[in-house]
Chain A
């Protein structure tokens, strides 16, 4: 047969056809398909868990003030899971979503990997630790030698523990009174105890054993105090058939799970508390024996609350007089009642009147330092170093006034007024802050009126950030000295547990540091050693770890081994009487904005699914946020359908939200669970820093409000602002 084109195609076709049939009947394609699937799992870039020995290492989570014990599961040297530690007194095996996501902070892309220095064009360049310490100490030496040591300020998220102790010591030796720490409602409560009873004590709320909880807006299951401990305590309330009454303008998760929810006009919680005192006194429902033995000033209290009759207060708060009377009776007649305050997660202070009214309620029912009540606890104080030797510059610098005005005059008991920083720097005249150090804090995001804070930071010539992450504040820094993350460093913490007990906890490294970072304590010691004058002498420690070991003394080994050490005698047995006359009222809380231009009240709400303090939410958290809170990149503002109807707003539509501080675009979410006339939005969104999972999503609530000072404490008690919402 002659092979021509036609034959070639025919025969070639039959060969191929035979091949296809044969191949189909052979295992080749099927086996290859299976193998190809497995092959794709073995690509070098496919994430595969490390193979190796499995181990668990215990530490303490320091991502929020809750301080849970955690157990980190590791395979070889990689941390792969964070679990709650079962034998830890705070969380007893539980863990919250932020703690659980801690690995995304450790291994995520937002870490600052080496010391960085800002260049002329606004970008950062990598520098070595030696260069970084040299630059910082040169600046500090320059300021010190020109007599401006008090122009250095240090902003810290906490004033407890060895790192904060080192910062305070550093400033003292250097010659600056400006150690500024952020305050929460707990700090305000501490201040109230000082004013009412003259004691230095922290309040510990034993929800775990109470049988009636009267909560003035505290998000018991939304991260208030210690999130895991409180969620467990709330479950225990249900098991014990104890009652929870939630007073707040919005149906929060806590309100939804409460036995009773009383929506109150925002900002009038203290009037309600005073009315409850009024009823308890008028009806003689208080614990007379306890009050007689432990208090003074009952007559003053009667006088003060005389005008807060349920009828009158009903008009202010929107709660019916009979409800106020029933509430007072329920509270006073319970055997272990407790009143608590601190809105949402309690990360912002409350007014002295509010806190003292709450403490007065607890005192009237005699539930102080008793199971199920408020314990006044003396926290373990182990940072007991000798005072540093001071040279002349140091002494002169320390004798100057603090820039924030705390610690003297009417605010003599207030430690810090951090919110004033922006106002002071932005004020006309000379900027008093030449250098600002920021540790564990992200003021550009967390401070109210964050736009003004940014403006202030632009004016401060030298900013040093110790952040582990490239957050909003770190982006503004002249130099970043990155701290290890919480899973890479030692950190001593103080934890509160049930029934007024407390303990020292020690967070310890569970993985080797991933990058060229150093604990802030180490960086401080290095800077101090490079300084002139008496500063170096005040820092004789070799390293932060050596300092911790020396400071904790005989507790160190046990802490390293166990992770915590219970504090045997924490409840304060003070003979000081509780003075009711400390409770004064300054009238209705004013918030910024006039009712004509801003007919609505904007309040924030907190959620366990969004971190809103110094830590940015890792991707796990953002993924759990409902689309009634954040849809795409748009934040939703909750509004009652009745109010929305009047304003011609409808579900899911864009709207313009305007407050005296700024205007933003939002979407509308109709929610029956919010009082008419009030609108609410989530805190924790609107970051401009961090990764793509967080940056650019929603609006930062703090941009829309400004600080509101409590006349009694000076603290920023801003809880909302007047606002207007119009169709976009």
Chain B
């Protein structure tokens, strides 16, 4: 800034010259900090709240009760078909095997029987682990692993958590992970490509070629 400029500006407030300089820097820092904190709060706190919508499952399924009733663990209901493909979320036909009529007075079971089984309709489950269409994942190839490695201990949960749907992509928050920063403590906290690659590199010595999963 040239001296002549200063003179022009400073003429009307001569006696505040020093104060102006100090105050100005203070304000600059203050505004910077406001911007910084504001955007940090937006990014870390407000953004996830805006990004995800909260949806409840149609029926609050209790995995624990079913786990106690079956003999074959997770695979009793989430089984491999004869051709090696994975059945995934059970269909209503499987539910009917035990729940043709309600066995308890649990409102969730009554809802299942009355709204879905009676009408032969599939339950529109919201799938936490649904991956985008461009991802090819074979459960058969990962058969030796524990289900919990990727899915967590959902098999012993008594309630289904709220499904948080990404408003942009339509997929569950569980894919990116609950932590918006992408930090994870457990293997099942995230299901992004890096998480697949991390395990592939550790177990096979290579992250694998693109075509392995993106067919």
Asked if A625 is at the interface of the complex by the 8 Å CB criterion, the answer is no
Contact A26 B40 (CB under 8 A): yes
Q: Which of A6, A17, A36, A41 contacts B134 (CB 8 A)?
A: A41
Q: Is B27 interfacial (CB-CB < 8 Å)? A: yes
Say whether A10 contacts B24, CB under 8 Å.
yes
Q: How distant is the Cα of A18 from the Cα of B39 in the complex, in angstroms? A: 8
Q: What residue in chain B is nearest A29 (Cβ atoms)? A: B43
Known A-B contacts A26-B44, A41-B133; A36 and B36 likewise in contact (beta carbons under 8 Å):
no
Given A11-B28, A31-B176, A39-B169; A23-B23 close (CB under 8 Å): no
Contact (Cβ within 8 A) A25 B40: yes
**Contact check: which of A15, A21, A30, A39 meets B31 at CB < 8 Å?**
A15
A42 lies within 8 A of chain B by Cβ = yes
Rounded to whole angstroms, the CA-CA distance of A26 and B170 in the bound complex is 22
A7 B24 Cβ-Cβ under 8 A: yes
A38–B24 contact, CB under 8 A?
A: no
A23 / chain B contacts, CB cutoff of 8 Å: 39, 42-43
Contact with B along A1-24 (1 / 0, CB 8 A): 110001100111011111111110
In whole angstroms, what is the CA distance A54 to B23 when docked?
72
Q: Is A34 in contact with chain B by the CB < 8 A criterion?
A: yes
Q: Is A516 an interface residue (CB 8 A)?
A: no
Contact status A38-B132, CB under 8 Å? yes
Rounded to whole Å, the gap between the CB of B154 and the closest CB of chain A is: 23
Contact in complex: B20, A1 (CB < 8 Å): yes
Q: Kindly state whether residue A550 has any CB partner on chain B within 8 Å.
A: no
**Interface residues of B: mostly helix, strand, loop or mixed?**
helix
Report chain B residues within 8 Å CB of A18. Answer: 31-39
In the bound complex, what is the Cα–Cα distance between A7 and B30 (angstroms)?
Answer: 13
Distance in angstroms from B112 CB to nearest chain A CB is 23
Query: Number of contacting residues on A, CB 8 A?
Result: 34
B142 within 8 A of A: no
What does the 1/0 interface line of B90-122 toward A look like (CB < 8 Å)? 000000000000000000000000000000000
Nearest B residue to A30, CB-CB: B182
Q: Is the CB of B35 within 8 A of A28?
A: no
Interface-central residue, B23, B34, B40, by most chain A CB under 10 Å: B40
CB pair A26–B43 under 8 Å, yes or no, is yes
A15, B38: Cα distance in complex, Å: 9
Total A-B pairs in contact (CB under 8 Å)? 103
Task: List residues of A (33-79) whose CB comes within 8 Å of B's CBs.
Answer: 34-36, 38-39, 41-42, 48-49, 54
Q: Does A409 contact B (CB under 8 A)?
A: no
Are B169 and A14 in contact (CB-based, < 8 A)?
A: no
Instruction: Assess whether A27 is interfacial by the CB under 8 Å rule.
Output: yes
> Residues of B contacting A38 with CB < 8 Å?
132, 168-169, 171
Contacts of B38 in A (CB 8 A): 18-19, 22
Q: Are B133 and A1 in contact (CB under 8 A)?
A: no
B12-53 vs A, CB cutoff 8 Å, 1 = contact: the mask equals: 010000001001100111011111111110111001000100
- Minimum Cβ distance to chain B for residue A682 (Å): 32
Q: How far is the CA of A162 from the CA of B180 in the complex (A)?
A: 66
Given contacts A1-B23, A18-B31, contact A28 B36 (CB under 8 A): no
Looking at the complex, which one of B43, B168, B171, B176 makes contact with A28 (CB distance below 8 Å)? B43
Known: A1-B20, A18-B31, A26-B47. A35 touches B39 (CB 8 A): no
Given A7-B24, A22-B37, residue A17 in contact with residue B32 (CB < 8 A): yes
Q: How far is the CA of A41 from the CA of B171 in the complex (A)?
A: 12
Residues 113-172 of B contacting A (Cβ, < 8 Å): 132-134, 166, 168-171
8 Å CB contact of A19 from B35, B85, B169: B35
B202 sits at the interface (CB 8 A) = no
Name 20 extra pairs, CB < 8 A, besides A23-B42, A28-B42, A35-B169: A1-B24, A2-B13, A11-B28, A11-B31, A14-B27, A14-B28, A15-B31, A17-B35, A18-B31, A18-B34, A18-B36, A18-B39, A22-B36, A22-B39, A22-B43, A26-B39, A28-B43, A30-B182, A32-B168, A48-B133
Which A residues are closer than 8 A to B by beta carbons?
Answer: 1-2, 6-7, 10-12, 14-23, 25-28, 30-32, 34-36, 38-39, 41-42, 48-49, 54
Q: B interface vs A, CB < 8 Å?
A: 9, 13, 20, 23-24, 27-29, 31-40, 42-44, 47, 51, 85, 132-134, 166, 168-171, 176, 180-182
